[in-house]
Amino acid sequence: MSALTLTPNLSGHDDLYQSLVALHEGLSEEDSLKVWAKLALLLANHIGDRRVIEAAIAAARPAA
């Protein structure tokens, strides 16, 4: 992988969204934040390309 894909590239996105919502059901805010962090680190490890991950971080950050 050499560039971050910003165009739709996922099938079943509604099902994935429901899985993400279910991931947080019954968790405290603190535990929910920990789960987000763990998921982000797992996905970053899977991607394995620091440039792509840094591009995703920049794209996700709200504009000032």
Q: For the chain, what are the domain ranges? A: 27-64
Does position 1 have pLDDT exceeding 70, yes or no?
no
pLDDT tens for 11-55 read 999 999 999 999 999 999 999 999 999 999 999 999 999 999 999
Q: What amino acid occupies position 20?
A: L
Helix axes 50-60, 29-47, angle to 10 degrees: 140
Tokens of 50: 């620091």
Distance from C-alpha of 33 to C-alpha of 44, rounded to nearest angstrom: 16
On whether the CB atoms of residues 1 and 49 are closer than 8 A, the answer is yes
